[in-house]
Structures are given as C-alpha cells and as structure tokens.
Amino acid sequence: MSGKDYEMVAGLETHVELKTATKIFCGCSTAFGAEPNTQCCPVCTGMPGSLPVLNRQAVHYAIKAGLAVNCRIASYSKEDRKNYFYPDLPKAYQISQYDLPLCENGYLDIETGEGRKRIGITRIHIEEDAGKLIHQEGKGTLIDYNRCGVPLIEIVSEPDFRSVEEIKAYLRKLRATILYTGVSDCKMNEGSLRVDVNLSVRKKGEETLGTRTEMKNLNSFQFIAKAVEYEFRRQVEALEAGEEIIQETRRFDQASGKTFSMRRKEDANDYRYFPDPDLPPIEVSPDLLRELQAQIPVLPDQRKKEYVKRFGLTDYAAEQITLSREAADYFEQAARRTRYPKLAANLVLSEVMRLMPADGGEIPVAPEHLGMLADLFGDGRINSGTCRQAVALLWEQDQDPEALVMEKGLEQISDPEVLSKLADEVLSQQEKMVMDYRKGKTAAFQGLMGQMMKKTKGKGNPAKIQEILAQKLK
C-alpha cells in the first residue's frame, strides 16, 4: 500500500500568550526581550509561602477569545494544579484548568481548495506559561524564568484535520480572529503563539483512531507544515513495515526536517490534577459576559459574508482578505472609491498583500489611489501587467495614479491599426511559430502573444491582440 491509502487524523493545541501588562498571578512585567531572570518574583518562581492572586484582565481576555470562536462561556470554572517536573517549571506544577474550563464547545469555519469546513474547538482554558530553556552547544543548558507566569490560553481543537492545508487554514483563521479581538499580539517569532500537533494515521474508510504522537512547540506555519508532512510519512512507513506506533512526545528538528522522540506521552491521570487550594473559583456573571461581548469588533467571518454579498467576491477571496485586519480595512476604503470592487480585491490579494511586511504595518499607497487604479484597469486604460507595475511604483512613491500612468507611458495600446501593424511584424519574424501553430501546436499561439506583448513593452491590450492574431493566422 502507499501513503494515498492512509489518512491523517490531527488535532491542535494552540497556546496563545495574552497581552496583559503583568503576569497571571503576580505583578511582574510580561514585556518581551528583557534581560534573563529580571522579571521574576517569589510568586512566579514558586517560593515557599508565596500566594498567587488571579489577574482579572487575563480572565476577561480569555472570555473574549472564547466568544470570538463561538464557545460557551462557563459561569463557574476553577483552576487546578497540573503536577510534573521539568527544569523550566520551578514550582514542579503548573496552574491550569482541568475538568471545568472557562470556555467549551466552540468552532471555526475555514476555507480551503476543497471548500468550507467546520473545525470544532473542544475547550479553551487559562494557564500560566513555563520558563524558557536556552541550549548552548558544548556548554549546557541555561534557564530564563522571565516567561514563567505569563498568562496563556490553550485552545484545544477536535481531531478534525485531515490535511496540511486544513491545518494551515485553521491556524491562519484562528490567529486572525485573536488579533481582531486585541487580546494577544500572536507573534510566533516571539513565542506568543505556539502549536502542539497531535497526529495519528489510519487506513482510509476506517473509523478507529490510530495511536497518536504529539509534536511540541511549533512556532511557524512553515515548520508546522513540514513537521506534519514528515510525521505522517513516518507513521505510514512504520505501519507498512509492521512496526508499532508509540504514544510519545516528539521534537521537530528544523535543520533536518525530521521529528525525533523526546519522551513517552503522558495521560491526564499522570499529572495528578487537583483544585488549586490558593485560588477561588472563577464566576462569570451575565452582565460581565454582555459587557465583554460588546467589546468584540466585527470579526473575519462577519466581514467575509459582507464582502461576498456586497462586492460579489468568492468565499475564498473574501476569506483571504479578512485574515489580515489591516488588509480588510484597506480594501473597504478602496472599494468605496472604485466602480470595480472585485478588481480592487484582486489587487489587494495579488499585490498589496505580497508587498506588505510579514508583520503587517502601514500600506504606503492611499486606498483611494488603489481604487482609482482599479477604475483605470476596469475601464481598459491599463492592462494587468501595467497595473501591477503601477502598484509597485506607487508603493515607492504614492501619487495620483492617472498622472503616473500618463507620465510613465503605461496606458494600454488598443488601437487596431497600431496592433495590426505590429502583428504583421511579429508574424514575419516568427515563421517557425506560425508553422508550428498551423501544424496544430496551440502552445505556439501563446508564444506569438508573448512576442506581441514584448513589441508593445507590455502595454498591448491582450484581448485585442488575441483577436487580431487569430484573424491574421486564418
């Protein structure tokens, strides 16, 4: 059998650091990048006699995240001690939530090339982050406890993923949704969004789940995709060879692109959960819930529905634009200025989002100028190639698009007489292409089209050129 005879079954645990000024149980700063071990106190390092006090803002942020992904918010939840020893956990336990989480039974709808799919969200619980191990080759391992006690939410999905594409679509949608709410900056390079992937494989058509492995602390979409692809292949090859899959935690090595065993995977009872005796339960009143719900802005799914209905965008195009709040805000302003909002959307997707820095930031082209450029394109005054060229020029120095088109000579050539003369020149110079076309090699026609665009320096009207060439070749 081959890999095509198997399917993956994956679920994600996404850890999101909340954007509070102080830690979840003490007053230490959460600012990123401070000198190691300078943002610690007896509470976050678990010194005897110290007592935690819950950060109210962290709870409010967690509730807003839960509401944004359609969760039911528990009116009563509690915090538990999750007991395990690891060097970056100085208390030898983590304050988390076990059987009564704050948020449950949510979902996110995603769009892939296969269409729309709903991904279930089992729960969201609040917990404290652990410290950070810094490995120095040949010297040993250092520990920075600054991150200990930074407030986290863990967003646990159902095992609904069957492909890498679905995983990437879900994480992009989840990240966008959290960013819209403002409860986290979701900077993967700083560790404020990290993903654990639980993955098993089974033969297609089977209902029974295979033995799962967990890949920990993946912090880029690229590495997540590579880790999932490798682990899927590894498990399929192991099963085909008659080997047993072991329930374990695995580490993804970026250099080799492979996963390696770290330790046997624990079950819940291994952590010996019990209610934290130092913290009272969390009670959420209906008034607080209404107040927090009112603070949530228009989210990606709501914007997506509006773009499909109002501007005629496809579900996929609308989804891609709304994954960036900056791009969505920009598109809405540009769409108000143009008679061709679908063309403006295409420019945002193909050019603006390509030129935007990965971490967002200001778009140097005024949205009304992009709208005007869409009008020039829609009216046939420029073609797709010169339109892309104009966006690049505006990105360097923003100005009136019409003046730019005239100054740089970008206006489309549509005059039939001019194009007919140029077509005669091309056909006389490209005899082999003409012969190939007449022998039935249709690809030769595209070659002739390319020669015409070269003659017109990319400014020819493609539809007119196609029509004139077709007539002459008869």
For residue 463, the model assigns a pLDDT of 76
Radius of gyration, CA atoms only, the chain:
28
CA distances from 148 to 131, 254, 294 (A): 5, 25, 32
Helix, strand counts (H, E) of the chain: 16, 16
Q: Which structure tokens are listed for 225? A: 């995709």
Question: Would the pLDDT of 311 be above 60?
Answer: yes
The whole-number pLDDT of residue 270 equals 83
Sign of CA dihedral 46, 51, 57, 58: positive
What is the Cα–Cα distance from 14 to 168, expressed in whole angstroms?
12
CB-based contact 145:130 (threshold 8 Å): no
* Dihedral sign computed on CA atoms, order 344, 349, 354, 360: positive
Q: Which residue is listed with tokens 């449950």?
A: 104
pLDDT digits (tens, 9 = 90+) for 16-72: 999 999 999 999 999 999 999 999 999 999 999 999 999 999 999 999 999 999 999
pLDDT for the residue numbered 359: 67
Residue 142, token pair as written in the block: 């250092």
pLDDT digits (tens, 9 = 90+) for 109-137: 999 888 899 999 999 999 999 999 998 88
Give 240-250 pLDDT, tens digit per residue: 999 999 999 99
- Position 443 scores a pLDDT of 81
* Token representation of residue 39: 């943002």
Whether 352 shows a pLDDT value over 60: the answer reads yes
Determine the pLDDT at residue 56.
97
> Which amino acid appears at position 322 of this protein?
T
Q: Provide mean pLDDT across the span 138-158.
A: 95
d(CA 260, CA 422): 62
The average pLDDT across 191-209 equals 94
pLDDT at 446: 84
Give the range among 175-184, 396-405, 418-427 with minimum mean pLDDT. Answer: 418-427
Q: How far apart are CA 147 and CA 15, in angstroms?
A: 13
Cβ atoms of 243 and 224 within 8 Å: the answer is no
Buried b (16+ CB within 10 A) or exposed e, 346-366: bbbbebbbeebeeeeeebebb
SS3 letters for 200-242?
A: EEEECCCCCCCCCEEEEEECCHHHHHHHHHHHHHHHHHHHHCC
Residue 474 has pLDDT above 90, yes or no: no
Residue-level pLDDT at 454: 81
| Prediction pTM value | 0.85
Q: How far apart are the C-alpha atoms of 203 and 9, rounded to whole Å?
A: 10
CA dist., res. 260 & res. 220, Å (int): 18
Per-residue pLDDT band at 182 (split at 50, 70, 90): very high
Per-residue pLDDT at 452:
76
pLDDT at 404: 94
- Average pLDDT over all residues of the chain: 92
The pLDDT score that the predictor gives to residue 72 is: 98
DSSP letter at 161 equals B
135: enclosing H helix or E strand: strand 132-136
Q: How confident is the model at residue 397 (pLDDT cuts 50, 70, 90)?
A: very high
Q: Is the pLDDT of residue 324 over 60?
A: yes
What's the whole-number mean pLDDT along residues 337-362? 90
Higher pLDDT, 45 or 460: 45
Evaluate if residue 268 carries a pLDDT over 70: no
pLDDT band at 266 (very low <50, low <70, confident <90, very high): low
Determine the pLDDT at residue 262.
Answer: 85
pLDDT of residue 421 exceeding 70: yes
Structure tokens at 195: 């993903």
| Dist. CA 329–CA 220, nearest whole Å | 25
- CA-CA distance, 344 to 336, in Å (whole number)? 10
Residue type, 446: Q
Only one residue has tokens 């609040």, namely 126
Instruction: Identify the pLDDT of residue 96.
Output: 97
For residue 397, give the DSSP letter: S
Q: Record the tokens describing residue 433, joined without a space.
A: 């292409």
- pLDDT tens digit sequence for 163-174: 999 999 999 999
Three-point CA angle 357, 363, 368, nearest 5°: 150
Residue that the structure tokens 């498990």 belong to: 235
Report the share of the chain in percent with pLDDT over 90. 73
Q: How far apart are the C-alpha atoms of 13 and 207, rounded to whole Å?
A: 22
Weakest mean pLDDT among 27-31, 256-260, 326-330 = 256-260
Give the pLDDT confidence score for residue 186 in this predicted structure.
Answer: 95
